[in-house]
Amino acid sequence: MSFLSNLFKFGSQNMAIDLGTANTLVYVQDQGIILNEPSVVAIETINGVKRVKAVGDDAKMMMGKTPDTIEAIRPLRDGVIADIEIAEEMIKHFIRKVHGKRNLFRYPEIVICVPSGSTSVEKRAIRDAASNAGASEVHLILEPMAAAIGADMPVTEPVGSMVVDIGGGTTEVAVLSLRGLAYTTSVRTGGDKMDEAIVSYVRRHHNLLIGDATAERIKKDYGIAVVPEDGIGETITLKGRDLVNGVPKEITINQAHVAEALSEPIGAIVEGVRIALENTAPELAADIVDQGIVLTGGGALIRRLDEHLREETGLPVSIAEDPLTCVAIGTGRAMEDPIYRGVLMTA
C-alpha cells in the first residue's frame, strides 16, 4: 500500500492552502503563490440536478445577480466550513486548476490553515474536504501562526510577539513564542461584518438598500478607522434601491459616515486585542512592548487602523509587508522549511 501511495505521490507538488472566508490562496512548493481567487461557488440547478457552474472569480461576478436557477454560495462562514459538499467541490476545482488536467494520478500533500477558535469537528470537516478532493496527507496549521511566519516574526525564538490577523470572517489575535501560541483568541468579526455594518448604516440613515458587493467596494476604497481630520473626508456616490419609493436611487455620503459605520466592528477587534493583552504572561508582555503588534489580513488595509490601535493600546503597531498574502506565504513556509515543521498538526 505504501509503495502505491508513494507512486501516486511521485512528481506531485505539495500545496499549502489558505482557505479563507473571502479568498482562497494556493501556494505550491518551490513556486510560491500561484492562485488567489474568491471563495465563491456558483451552483446551477437543472431539472432538480445540481452542478457546479463556476468557481472563484467567475462565480464572484455573479454574486447578487443570479437568476432563479443559479445560486452563488460562499461555502465558508466565519472562517469555518458551513457547506462541506460545496467546499469540497471548491478545493477540488482549485487543486485541479493548479495541477492541470494531465496529473490524474497525483496526490499532493496539503497543508491548510484553520482559525485558532475552530472546534475539532470543524477541523475534521476541513481535513475530510481536502482528503476527498485528492490529498494524500493533510496537515493543519493555525491561522495566527501562519500569519506570523509569513510576516517574518521570530516565532521559533523565546520572544513574545503579537499578531492580529483580520480576515473576512474572523479576527485572530495571538501571542506567539517558541513555535506555539501562548495565548489566542478568535473574534468573529472581520471584513464581512464591516460590509454588513455599512449596509445597515446606509439603510438606517438614508433609507437606501445596497448590496454586499457595493458595501465591499466602499470598504476597500474608502474604509477608514477614525473620522478624517476635516470631519468629512472624500465623498462617495452610492447606488441602490430606495426603501421609501421602491425605485433605484443615487445618494452621496462621505468618509466620516463610513468611519461611523465601521466603528462597531473595529471596536470589537480592539476589544479582542485588549483581552489578549490582559491575559498575556508578564514576561511575554514585556517583549510585546518592544516588538509591538503586527497587523495582517485584508482588514489591515483599512486606513489609519494601525493609528487607532496605537492610540487604544499605547503599543507600537505595524502592518505586515503584504497583509493579504501573509497567511498563504506562512503556510507555504511551514510546509517547506523543516524549522517550522513542529507547528503543523493533524486533525
Query: pLDDT category, 103, cuts 50, 70, 90?
Result: low
Cβ atoms within 10 Å, residue 44: 15
Q: How far apart are CA 295 and CA 305, in angstroms?
A: 9
The CATH number, out of the four listed (1.10.357.10, 3.40.640.10, 3.30.420.40, 3.90.1720.10), of the domain defined by the range 12-39+77-152+324-346: 3.30.420.40
Question: Per this entry, what is the length of the chain?
Answer: 347
Architecture of the CATH domain 154-189+266-323: 2-Layer Sandwich (3.30)
Q: Is the pLDDT of residue 7 over 80?
A: no
Architecture of the CATH domain 191-262: Alpha-Beta Complex (3.90)
Highest average pLDDT, of 52-66, 90-104, 132-146, 262-276, comes from: 262-276
Q: Is the pLDDT of residue 197 over 90?
A: yes
Q: Is the pLDDT of residue 2 over 50?
A: no
Query: pLDDT category, 245, cuts 50, 70, 90?
Result: very high
User: Residue 79: what pLDDT?
Assistant: 75
User: Residue 106: what pLDDT?
Assistant: 59
User: Residue 3: what pLDDT?
Assistant: 43
Where on the phi/psi map is residue 76: left (φ > 0), alpha (ψ -120 to 50), or beta? beta
> Which residues of the chain form CATH 3.90.640.10?
191-262
> Which residues of the chain form CATH 3.30.420.40?
12-39+77-152+324-346, 154-189+266-323
User: Residue 29: what pLDDT?
Assistant: 87
For the chain, the straight-line distance linking the first and the last C-alpha, in angstroms and rounded, comes to: 22
Residue numbers belonging to the annotated binding site? 21-23, 168-170, 216-219, 298-301
Q: How far apart are CA 299 and CA 307, in angstroms?
A: 14
Q: What is the pLDDT of residues 129-162, one digit of tens each?
A: 888 888 888 999 998 999 999 999 888 888 999 9
Residue numbers belonging to the annotated binding site for ATP? 21-23, 168-170, 216-219, 298-301
Q: Is the pLDDT of residue 164 over 60?
A: yes
Per-residue cell: 111: 497543508
User: Residue 105: what pLDDT?
Assistant: 53
Antiparallel, parallel or unpaired: β 109-114 and 293-296? unpaired
Percent above pLDDT 70 for the chain? 95
How much is the average pLDDT of 283-301? 92
User: Residue 102: what pLDDT?
Assistant: 54
Contact 88, 73 (CB under 8 A): no
